[in-house]
Structure 1
Amino acid sequence: MVANSSSFMQQPLCHDSESSALLQFKQSFLIDGHASDDPSAYPKVPMWKSHGEGEGEGEGEGSDCCSWDGVECDRETGHVIGLHLASSCLYGSINSSSTLFSLVHLRRLDLSDNDFNHSEIPFGVGQLLRLRSLNLSNSVFAGQIPSELLALSNLVFLDLRGNPMLQLQKPSLRNLVQNLAHLKKLQLSEVNISSTIPHELANLSSLTTLFLEECGLHGEFPMNIFQLPSLQFLSVGSNPDLIGYLPEFQETSPLKVLYLYGTSFSGELPTSIGRLGSLTELDIRSCNFTGLVPSSLGHLPQLSYLDLSNNSFRGQIPSFMANLTQLTYLHLSSNNFSVGTLAWLGEQTKLTALHLSQINLIGEIPFSLVNMSQLTTLTLFGNQLSGQIPSWLMNLTQLTVLDLGRNNLEGGIPSSLFELVNLQYLSVQGNSLNGTVELNMLLKLKNLISFQLSGNRLSLLGYTRTNVTLPKFKLLGLGSCNLIEFPDFLQNQDELEVLFLSNNKIHGPIPKWVWNISQENLKALDLSRNLLTGFDQHPIVLPWSRLSILELDSNMLQGPLPIPPPSTIYYSVSRNKLTGEISPLICNMSSLMLLDLSSNNLSGRIPQCLANLSKSLFVLDLGSNNLDGPIPQTCTVPNNLRVIDLSDNQFQGQIPRSFANCMMLEHLVLGNNQINDIFPFWLGALPQLQVLILRSNRFHGAIGSWHSNFRFPKLRIVDLSDNKFIGDLPSEYFQNWDAMKLTDIANDLRYMQALPKFQIPGYTWTMPYMYSMTMTNRGMQRFYEKIPDIFIAIDFSGNNFKGQIPTSIGNLNGLHLLNLGDNNLTGHIPSSLGDLTQLESLDLSQNQLSGEIPLQLTRITFLAFVNVSHNHLTGPVPQGNQFTTFPNASFDGNPGLCGSPLSRACGSSEASPPTSSSSKQGSTSEFDWKFVLMGYGSGLVIGVSIGYCLTSWKDEWFMKTFGKRQRKLTRKERRGHRG
């Protein structure tokens, strides 16, 4: 290099001290190809040589560091002013004694994409006072960013992104911004900042680039940052607790890239967004934006990337999208759009990726797609598209991803679909497709790695004894494909990560070779809802070392409980015939989020070590087995438990007091055991508890007084029936159970559920778990396989409560079901029960109640079942509204009652004829089970239907198990349940 070509003077050689410093820096690292991720990475420092090392070189050439790869020198002074070692395969630690920090003339330092082995950024960096550019991104730094960095007041470019173990807290982001006032580019994505965004950022008038993705930012985003005069690139994505609103944009704004995805930005898109004439990329997916998409968005001529998905935009899908002729990527999925024309899609000739999932599309697959020959990705998942899969899809020859799942498509799969030879991902799951799919149709799809047929009426042919060489799948969905045995071709699938074979007719034992399928790679396996009976060879621990999800429920599996590997996160084996004890090996699953072993014949005690899993568990369901002994202590560590269901076993002793630590618990079901305890008032401290089922145990004593520290703030369903409780009904609880006072009517019927979400490499999973319970409704035990999330119920029947029914119960005007039957209650029926305007089922039978039935009860227009039989009630049965529909049996055993529907007229001295014993038990002839579930707000029989029709019996075994409970229990039988 020459400083001045006309002066015959060479650029000065680099200084010996700097050459020596660089060589010592080189010696402190290993060269490791895995230390850099960039495909173009190569080692730069091995060619650095001291004087005498470079044979055959000109004098001084080998030791002149200014000629070394990655080294930049000042042309006049010879000082090293730049070190460019990005992607240089450096591996090792670095500290402040490094000779690097003696290079005090450095202006540019780039060590990005190396591996510094979780070193802290050395405080020695503060010695490089001339630095204008510092890039340490993606280089495995950790710990707190040193305050000495704030001394680099000349910095214009700072990039520390991609070091998720790095922290910027002391100093803070505010300190950094205040001290580095000349910054033009600030990139801190994935650095742990965990703070608000300081308003001082808006003072950086030269800032062109601001990247703060996934930093733990919270609070409100300062709106005036959008107005920075030079800002071109802004991303604060993946900060879910960051809130904000979009400003009124000016035409002078130079913004080119705006990423707000995965934040809590909300409000409507301003019309002024159409002024951002330089905008090329807009990503606001997974925020809280609402309203219409403004037509001004169609005025952005440079826009090539647009993602509006996972918001609440409404209105028609905007046709002005046709004006965005530079679009290559468009994602509109998961919004509340109404149906509009998609003819404008024909104008989008440059689109390579189009996502239109879950946006209420109806009709056939839009023909306007036919000429989009550049498309590589097309997703139409989760709409109401109908008709057949069109053969013209074969025109889209570049497609690598085609997702038509969860629609209403009919007919067969056209053979032309298998002409799309570039396909890697093909899904038609969850439609109404029929016909056959032959394996040899896949021969042309050499690149196919994900194939989903599940949830149709298809039949797979040629899947056994075939010599066909099929693609190596990563995901394979063959649920509901009429399979009667495991497909033989799976034996050669050693790269499988996800395998769905649910809802088939695969019968008999699981063959031994199945355990060899993709042992090193399988992450999710679903064999549920088949006819499997056991295992050819029973493994103690299943062999897949990376398995995260295992579903074996609703089969006929016999023998001991299979134990998944320690990597398992979701394990369901409910509704089988498994026997024996629960092995302590199950506790090796230290990341388990759902464990459902319900409805088997497991016996013995729960392993004590299971309590250690409460840190990760969301759902623990061991109901309907033969387990016994005390319930082990649970929630002894901070935990995420939402559901504990131990019902229908033989547990004894008391409720563990450690349950008080289950602060996230929503659903606690302990019914039908032998628990001997007093009322667990201390559970009232749980802030999220909504369902408490203690029915059919040996609880005893009085409920006691309400206390403000134990107030059950969200309790909506409580069942204490068939125990030995005594004393007065808890009037103070009725006064203060605030969640039972809610009368909001939902527009759509939803169900109580846990939604554990987790990630395994390559996949994000949401695994809904529906809450269930057994309750008495209309004198019948009903199994609620799903619980509507607006259902509110109290069942205190079958105890020894005495005294009067408190008037305060009338405050719980959200109640749908109230059962106080089979106690020793006295006094009048309070007229305040007429305030329970949502009530559907009222049972006050078999008490000592007297006086008249309050006329106010006729105000309850939803009331579909009443039983006040076997009391000492007198006077006329109220007439009007629902009361005209109730049968005689509702009022039996009250000789003093008169009027319709009873045969004894009011004013008559003639005694009522005796009733049969069957009618005393509550006739169901007037209210059969064949009710149609009607939407809330529709008026009449919702309460009756809610108990039975929400139950969808899944198979014959399930009906045999629970069907025997669908009859009236006599008082004697109830007492027998309590032992």
Structure 2
Amino acid sequence: MNLAEVNYFDLSYNRLTGRIPSQISGLTSVLELDLSHNRLEGPMPSTISGLKNLSVLTVVSNNLNGTAQFHMLMKHQSLKELSLSFNNFSLATKDLNVSLSKIAILELASCNLREFPKFIAKLDTLESIDLSYNGISGQVPQWLLNVSMKNLTRLNLSNNFLMGFSSYPVEFKWANLYTLDLRYNKMEGPLPLPPRSIINYLASNNKLTGQIPPAICQLNWISILNLANNELSGVLPSCFGNLSSTLWTLSLHGNGFYGRIPQLQKGVCELRMVDLSNNQFKAPLPRGLSKCVKLEFLNLGNNRIADTFPSWLGSLPNLKVLILHHNRFHGVMKEPQSNHQYFPKLHIIDLSMNNFSGGLPSKYFNSWNAMKFTKTDEMVYYADTILESYVFKDFLVDYDYSMTILNKGIETKYDKILEYLTVIDLSSNGFDGEIPSSIGSLMELHLLNLSNNAITGSIPSSLRNLTKLEALDLSRNELTGKIPPELTQLTSLEFFDVSDNHLSGPIPREKQFNTFENSSYKGNSRLCGTPLTKKCSNLEASPPPLSNNVLVKEDSRTWIKKLDWMIVLIGFASGSVVGAMVGLNYTTRIERWFVNKFCQGKQSRQRRRIRRRVIQSAFCFHNTM
């Protein structure tokens, strides 16, 4: 192959190692050179400057190091796209006098920059700028905002040390800006208002203060609004509900918002994800959410919302995550009134730390089909499936859903949520009654937490069907009976807690149950066996495992006949009627136990027959002495 005739040279997404060879200068006719997503190392070869026809150069996500001389790359007058992001080199950008009149895409993420490259002021043809993951500090300079980039659609300044803007209110002159990413900086002051053209506005994880201005409702095309983890406060503008016709993702968690969640003002709802957790919202939920048929993720945890269980959300066909923990929800979770499927795609439900009461929702358990059927355990995250169908694919941003739940007794934050994760947390409420056996049909369940309620009855053996269960917490309830030995079939179980109940009998000691410590069982005075110090008596000891194919049952009458003669021998040995009567007393008590156990329907008739035989035998023997 004659390399001098190659126009497009693409070796991206391979496992190439070593240095970029200097012979690359032989690609004299190449227009696009893509070496991204490999394991290349060493410096950027100076011979690249000889590729005079080059319009696209991308070496993103390699291990290139040293110092890249930016002026060397700027000699390409036809260059339209330059992507150097996520390498290990430093970029020398000072004293550049070269003007690139055609460059449109400039990707310099993680290039060890410490200030804004001033040559950007000369690049009025730019359409996309990425300066994220550098060490740029201070304020966003006014000269950058004054650059006349009428075609600019994307500006990413995230993951730096920026303190804010040089003047307020901030005025963005770029009328075609679709994506503005300011996340993970140290920005203070009021919320900058982007231009009306904005589609993706991300300013989370800063120190922004004040209220959201009503003018935000004029963003008629906004699809992703992420202002999470700031110091914003106040009441959301009432017009906020108008944005539901365009918004896909709304994330305001970790602020100080209070008051009502605005009602949806229009009949159209495009929302896929809503996260308003960790605020101070009050009042009932807006019933307009029932129109959001595309909603997949709803997190309202850690607020002050006072309402009953939102069963009206059960008709949403795509809802996968429902988190309402740490609120003031109350009342009975009324069972569905029809056979219609409620919450058919629900994977995660967290209602912990509320005031729910009444029995556990057995009919809901029957409806949660997504927790029943086998799914592949592929590494697929929730946000991935949404972005695949995103309308504005040219303006995608790196965005993932997140949540914090109690996992294996520890509060755990998930920065990304795997689609196969299945969770039920109904802990710290006032649920009573028994655990319904229908919960055993949710065979995809990974975490089950029913702790700190008033649940009574025994632990249902149907839980043995939850073979993917990793954590089971039934602590601090009123449970009685034994720990079902069938639970030893849960070989994925890593966390088990039944402490502070009224359980009795031996603790199973097979498979995973050999790994649980004393704390899993404390507060059950009638439990015995390892790992507790209380030993089991012979009657309490666990029987040997029974064969799955053969189950031998000896007839209760045979047992009673054997005991008749064994006990009567006590009287024979004494040589007196007194001995026989002692034997009769023991026989009567033991016989009563066996009859109650095995012969409930014939109890009185057998008791009379046994007593008559024992007395006759004893007195006959005494008369022959």
Which range, TM-score by smaller chain? 0.7 to 0.9
What is the rounded CA distance, in whole Å, between the counterparts of 2:89 and 2:191 in structure 1?
A: 32
Q: Determine which of 313, 333, 349 is the counterpart of 1:718.
A: 349
| 1:764 alignment partner, SS class | helix
Greater per-residue helix proportion: 2
Question: Corresponding residue for 1:459?
Answer: 90
Question: Corresponding residue for 1:755?
Answer: 387
What is the rounded CA distance, in whole Å, between the counterparts of 2:270 and 2:50 in structure 1?
A: 48
| 2:121 alignment partner, SS class | helix
Question: Corresponding residue for 1:664?
Answer: 294
What is the rounded CA distance, in whole Å, between the counterparts of 2:459 and 2:274 in structure 1?
A: 36
After superposition, give the CA deviation of every residue in 1:764-791 in whole Å (9 maximum; x if it has no partner): 2433532211111122211111111100
Q: Determine which of 47, 56, 66 is the counterpart of 1:425.
A: 56
The one-letter code sitting in structure 2 at the alignment partner of 1:569 is I
Q: Are 1:833 and 2:466 matched, yes or no?
A: no
The one-letter code sitting in structure 2 at the alignment partner of 1:831 is S
Asked if the contact 1:552–1:572 (Cα under 8 Å) also holds between the matched residues in 2, the reply is yes
Question: Corresponding residue for 2:137?
Answer: 507
Question: Corresponding residue for 1:415?
Answer: 46
Asked if the contact 1:684–1:709 (Cα under 8 Å) also holds between the matched residues in 2, the reply is no
State the identity as a percent. 47
What is the rounded CA distance, in whole Å, between the counterparts of 1:650 and 1:736 in structure 2?
A: 32
Q: What does 1:285-300 align with in structure 2 at a 5 Å threshold?
A: none
Per-residue deviation, 1:629: 0.6
Per-residue deviation, 1:386: 2.5
Q: Determine which of 487, 500, 510 is the counterpart of 2:117.
A: 487
| 2:225 alignment partner, SS class | strand
| 2:18 alignment partner, SS class | coil
Asked if the contact 1:578–1:600 (Cα under 8 Å) also holds between the matched residues in 2, the reply is yes
| 1:488–1:757 Cα change, 3 Å | farther
Q: Determine which of 487, 496, 506 is the counterpart of 2:126.
A: 496
After superposition, give the CA deviation of every residue in 1:135-173 in whole Å (9 maximum; x if it has no partner): xxxxxxxxxxxxxxxxxxxxxxxxxxxxxxxxxxxxxxx
Per-residue deviation, 1:465: 4.5
Q: Are 1:897 and 2:536 matched, yes or no?
A: no
Question: Corresponding residue for 2:603?
Answer: none
Q: Are 1:876 and 2:520 matched, yes or no?
A: no
Question: Corresponding residue for 2:434?
Answer: 804
The one-letter code sitting in structure 2 at the alignment partner of 1:562 is P
| 1:465–1:415 Cα change, 3 Å | closer
Asked if the contact 2:341–2:367 (Cα under 8 Å) also holds between the matched residues in 1, the reply is no
Asked if the contact 1:479–1:504 (Cα under 8 Å) also holds between the matched residues in 2, the reply is yes
Asked if the contact 1:534–1:556 (Cα under 8 Å) also holds between the matched residues in 2, the reply is yes
Q: Are 1:622 and 2:247 matched, yes or no?
A: no
Q: What does 1:257-268 align with in structure 2 at a 5 Å threshold?
A: none
| 1:443–1:717 Cα change, 3 Å | closer
Question: Corresponding residue for 1:731?
Answer: 362
Asked if the contact 2:471–2:493 (Cα under 8 Å) also holds between the matched residues in 1, the reply is yes
| 1:452–1:757 Cα change, 3 Å | farther
Per-residue deviation, 1:641: 1.2
Asked if the contact 2:158–2:182 (Cα under 8 Å) also holds between the matched residues in 1, the reply is yes
Question: Corresponding residue for 1:640?
Answer: 270
| 1:737–1:443 Cα change, 3 Å | closer
What is the rounded CA distance, in whole Å, between the counterparts of 1:708 and 1:514 in structure 2?
A: 60
| 1:788 alignment partner, SS class | coil
Question: Corresponding residue for 2:69?
Answer: 438
Q: Which region of structure 1 is more displaced relative to structure 2, 403-412 or 748-757?
A: 748-757
RMSD: 1.7
Question: Corresponding residue for 1:586?
Answer: 216
| 1:756–1:586 Cα change, 3 Å | farther
After superposition, give the CA deviation of every residue in 1:199-257 in whole Å (9 maximum; x if it has no partner): xxxxxxxxxxxxxxxxxxxxxxxxxxxxxxxxxxxxxxxxxxxxxxxxxxxxxxxxxxx
Per-residue deviation, 1:756: 6.3
Asked if the contact 2:178–2:199 (Cα under 8 Å) also holds between the matched residues in 1, the reply is yes
| 1:439–1:495 Cα change, 3 Å | same
| 2:479 alignment partner, SS class | strand
Q: What does 1:838-853 align with in structure 2 at a 5 Å threshold?
A: 838-853=468-483
After superposition, give the CA deviation of every residue in 1:168-209 in whole Å (9 maximum; x if it has no partner): xxxxxxxxxxxxxxxxxxxxxxxxxxxxxxxxxxxxxxxxxx
After superposition, give the CA deviation of every residue in 1:45-77 in whole Å (9 maximum; x if it has no partner): xxxxxxxxxxxxxxxxxxxxxxxxxxxxxxxxx
Q: Determine which of 533, 544, 558 is the counterpart of 2:163.
A: 533
After superposition, give the CA deviation of every residue in 1:828-850 in whole Å (9 maximum; x if it has no partner): 00010111000000000110111
Q: Determine which of 317, 326, 337 is the counterpart of 1:687.
A: 317
Asked if the contact 2:359–2:433 (Cα under 8 Å) also holds between the matched residues in 1, the reply is yes
The one-letter code sitting in structure 1 at the alignment partner of 2:119 is F
Asked if the contact 2:154–2:395 (Cα under 8 Å) also holds between the matched residues in 1, the reply is no
Asked if the contact 1:443–1:471 (Cα under 8 Å) also holds between the matched residues in 2, the reply is no
Q: What does 1:26-105 align with in structure 2 at a 5 Å threshold?
A: none
What is the rounded CA distance, in whole Å, between the counterparts of 1:377 and 1:531 in structure 2?
A: 38
Q: Are 1:395 and 2:20 matched, yes or no?
A: no
Aligned residues: 536
Question: Corresponding residue for 1:741?
Answer: 372
What is the rounded CA distance, in whole Å, between the counterparts of 2:422 and 2:38 in structure 1?
A: 34
Return 5+ residue gaps in structure 1 as ranges.
1-345, 347-370, 910-979
| 1:810 alignment partner, SS class | helix
Q: Are 1:378 and 2:9 matched, yes or no?
A: yes
Per-residue deviation, 1:596: 0.6
Q: Are 1:885 and 2:544 matched, yes or no?
A: no
Per-residue deviation, 1:619: 0.5
The one-letter code sitting in structure 1 at the alignment partner of 2:32 is V
Q: Determine which of 667, 678, 696 is the counterpart of 2:308.
A: 678
Normalised to the residue count of structure 2, the TM-score between the two structures is 0.83
Q: Are 1:523 and 2:163 matched, yes or no?
A: no
What is the rounded CA distance, in whole Å, between the counterparts of 1:464 and 1:539 in structure 2?
A: 31
What is the rounded CA distance, in whole Å, between the counterparts of 2:381 and 2:372 in structure 1?
A: 19
| 1:679–1:541 Cα change, 3 Å | farther
The one-letter code sitting in structure 2 at the alignment partner of 1:723 is N
Q: Determine which of 403, 406, 424 is the counterpart of 2:37.
A: 406
| 1:438–1:785 Cα change, 3 Å | same
Question: Corresponding residue for 1:597?
Answer: 227
After superposition, give the CA deviation of every residue in 1:781-814 in whole Å (9 maximum; x if it has no partner): 1111111110000000000000001010000010
The one-letter code sitting in structure 2 at the alignment partner of 1:796 is L
Per-residue deviation, 1:630: 0.3
What is the rounded CA distance, in whole Å, between the counterparts of 1:780 and 1:906 in structure 2?
A: 32
Q: What does 1:214-225 align with in structure 2 at a 5 Å threshold?
A: none
The one-letter code sitting in structure 2 at the alignment partner of 1:733 is Y
What is the rounded CA distance, in whole Å, between the counterparts of 1:518 and 1:874 in structure 2?
A: 77
What is the rounded CA distance, in whole Å, between the counterparts of 1:903 and 1:589 in structure 2?
A: 66
Asked if the contact 1:756–1:767 (Cα under 8 Å) also holds between the matched residues in 2, the reply is no
Asked if the contact 1:465–1:488 (Cα under 8 Å) also holds between the matched residues in 2, the reply is no
| 2:72 alignment partner, SS class | helix
| 1:757–1:549 Cα change, 3 Å | farther
| 1:492–1:539 Cα change, 3 Å | farther
Per-residue deviation, 1:512: 1.3
Asked if the contact 1:757–1:764 (Cα under 8 Å) also holds between the matched residues in 2, the reply is no
Question: Corresponding residue for 1:190?
Answer: none
Post-superposition, which runs of at least 4 consecutive aligned residues in structure 1 deviate over 3 A? Answer: 464-472, 707-710, 756-760, 765-768
The one-letter code sitting in structure 2 at the alignment partner of 1:433 is L
Per-residue deviation, 1:403: 1.4
Per-residue deviation, 1:372: 3.1
| 1:373 alignment partner, SS class | helix
Per-residue deviation, 1:544: 1.5
Asked if the contact 1:497–1:523 (Cα under 8 Å) also holds between the matched residues in 2, the reply is yes
Q: Which region of structure 1 is more displaced relative to structure 2, 385-394 or 444-453?
A: 385-394
| 1:508 alignment partner, SS class | strand
